[in-house]
Structure formats: structure tokens, C-alpha cells
Amino acid sequence: MNNKIIDAAQGHWLLAKMGKKVLRPGGKALTLKLIKALSITPADSVIEFAPGIGFTAQKVLANNPQSYLGVELNEAAAKDLRKIIKGNFRDIIVGNAAAVPLEDRVADKIYGEAMLTMQADHRKAAIIKEAYRLLRKGGLYGIHELGLTPDGISDKLKAEIQHELALSIKVNARPLTQSEWICLLEKEGFRVKEIHTNPMILLETRRILDDEGLFRSLKIGYNILRQPRARRRINQMRSVFNKYKNHMNAIVIVAEKV
Ligand SMILES: C[S@@+](CC[C@H](N)C(=O)[O-])C[C@H]1O[C@@H](n2cnc3c(N)ncnc32)[C@H](O)[C@@H]1O
């Protein structure tokens, strides 16, 4: 990666280039809780919004759902995903989760991780609405996103966190409090069934070890050490996460279409 690309890359792609596989705020542990809460069975038609590099997709496919469709905006990511996700009734399309080219009520389970946070609030609502449209009655929608805490966090601090996140991860991240996430889901007709949270320590050594295992963690460390420019950016991200660690968390919510 040349310096220009390193300086401009969105935080998650920079981390992915360094070899990181787990790119969502609550780490592998929260992803596993999400998958458990969705209780995916061989009878389910599953849609994933923004599969990214396919980490969760592979775990979900181990449950052998009847069908799996990933809707990924990034063409290069979709191309790579097609190399690992293949077979009958397994598909990846390049597209926007807010406008999926499918009929109404075709899915039993829909989920997306670390993808709503990066949308403005009206776009978050459009994606949640689309999940509602695509699900059958009784179907489940799971999200795994960045949270703000406590519920009564001041607008000033919220704006400060959003500003610093945008500067460091180069994504206009707009995390919400737990009640705001719930409110968005309920507004579109969902009933919340389960909520799990985890600290937002994506770049702390113990979380990296937990998420990636020892061998991959060493490899990521080596890649970062070799590239001072990337190291500087990742340190900046880590220091923002650290600065606001008492006001940011990771949240999983699973909601039902009633
Ligand atoms: C931070 S990454 C998370 C990827 C993956 N879900 C994970 O947790 O590892 C964000 C991903 O969301 C995708 N994305 C963002 N907005 C999207 C949208 N409206 N529809 C589909 N994919 C989207 C991006 O292309 C990127 O792959």
C-alpha cells in the first residue's frame, strides 16, 4: 500500500490490509452471540448486509442455511467474497442494503455488522426498513454496531466523539445510544428480543488475541511494524477508542418482525 492510500483508507480496510479479520466493534465474542440469538437452521433463508471479508458469513454457513445472500456495496470485497462463498443457493451481490433487488418477505433471518453506524440516520432507517420488507413475519433481524453510553450522553460529547471518529477512521461514523438503536428498530415495526453489549476495545491486545488468535495477531503486529505510516494511523485510531472507552461500546440487538 502506498502512503497516499494508507492515509486515505477507511479504518476497517486499513486493518483488513494489515491482516485483521474481525472488523466489528464487539469482536468475535459479540458476533457469536449474534449468531446464537439468530438461531439459524437449515430451513432458513438468510441475507447478510455488508459481509465485508466474510468472517461472519463463514460461521453462519456452518449452520447450513437453506440459502445465503450477501449484499455488499464494495465491488472488490464482493469479488473476494465470491471466492470463498460458493455453492447452491449461496450468492453475493454488489448492492446497497437499502435497496435489495428481491421480492418482499423472502428471508427468515437478516443481519448486518458494523454497517449501520457508518450511515446517516435517515439511511440507517432506510436499511432497517428494507430488512423489515425482506423478512417474513416472525423473521429475525440482527445488528452489531457501535454504541454510545450512557443513554443520556450529552449532545456535545456525542458530536465530539463523532468528529474524532470521523477524523481517525475516515468514515462518518454515527454511533447511537442503546435506546436510540432500539427506537430506530421499533419505529420500523420490529420488536426487540435480545440485547448484548461488549466494551469497544477492538484494538486492545487482549481483544486482538481473542479475535484473531496468537499466530494471526503476531502476523498483524509484524505487518503494522513494517509500515510506519499505517502504524501511525492505527495508533491514532486506538487513542481515540481509548479516549472515549467509557462512552463507547459495542451492541448487538436481535429484533423480530411482528
Ligand atoms: C466496517 S465494514 C464491516 C464488514 C463486516 N460486516 C464485518 O463486520 O466485518 C463495513 C462494510 O459495510 C459495507 N457497506 C457499507 N454500506 C453499505 C450498504 N449500504 N449496503 C451494503 N454494504 C454496505 C462496506 O462496503 C464494508 O464492507
Domain coordinates of the chain in residue numbers?
22-162+170-209+247-257
Distance 201 CA to ligand 1 centre (A): 20
Which atom of ligand 1 lies at the shortest distance from residue 74's CA?
25
Residue nearest to ligand 1 atom 17, measured at CA: 73
**If we measure between CA atoms, which residue out of 241, 195, 225 comes closest to residue 34?**
195
**Contact of 144 with 250, CB cutoff 8 Å:** yes
Beta strands, E only, the chain: 45-49, 67-72, 90-94, 107-113, 135-148, 176-177, 190-199, 248-257
- Bridge-partner residues for 177, per DSSP? 148
Distance 34 CA to ligand 1 centre (A): 17
Residues 6+ apart with CB under 8 A from 1: 9, 17, 227, 230
Nearest-angstrom CA–CA distance, 121 and 181: 10
**If we measure between CA atoms, which residue out of 117, 143, 83, 94 comes closest to residue 10?**
117
Residues 6+ apart with CB under 8 A from 190: 128, 132, 141, 255, 256, 257, 258
Query: Is the Cβ atom of 49 under 6 angstroms away from ligand 1?
Result: yes
Query: Is the Cβ atom of 128 under 6 angstroms away from ligand 1?
Result: no
Distance 73 CA to ligand 1 centre (A): 7
Instruction: Report pLDDT for 1.
Output: 72
Which atom of ligand 1 lies at the shortest distance from residue 23's CA?
9
Specify the CATH number for 22-162+170-209+247-257; select among 3.40.50.150, 3.40.50.1100, 3.30.450.20, 1.10.3470.10: 3.40.50.150
Residues 6+ apart with CB under 8 A from 152: none
Query: Is the Cβ atom of 211 under 6 angstroms away from ligand 1?
Result: no
The region, left, alpha or beta by phi > 0 then psi within -120 to 50, assigned to residue 215 is alpha
Query: Is the Cβ atom of 114 under 6 angstroms away from ligand 1?
Result: yes
Residue nearest to ligand 1 atom 27, measured at CA: 52
Query: Is the Cβ atom of 50 under 6 angstroms away from ligand 1?
Result: yes
**Contact of 110 with 142, CB cutoff 8 Å:** yes
Which atom of ligand 1 lies at the shortest distance from residue 22's CA?
9
Angle ∠(111,114,119) on CA atoms, nearest 5 = 100
Q: What string of pLDDT tens digits covers the 258 residues of the chain?
A: 777 888 889 999 999 999 999 889 999 999 999 999 999 999 999 999 999 999 999 999 999 999 999 999 999 999 999 999 999 999 999 999 999 999 999 999 999 999 999 999 999 999 999 999 999 999 999 999 999 999 999 999 999 999 999 999 999 999 999 999 999 999 999 999 999 999 998 899 999 999 999 999 999 999 999 999 999 999 999 999 999 999 999 999 999 999
Q: Which pTM was predicted?
A: 0.94
Distance 98 CA to ligand 1 centre (A): 12
- The three cell numbers locating residue 169: 477512521
- Provide the CB-side half-sphere exposure for 146 (13 A, CA): 27
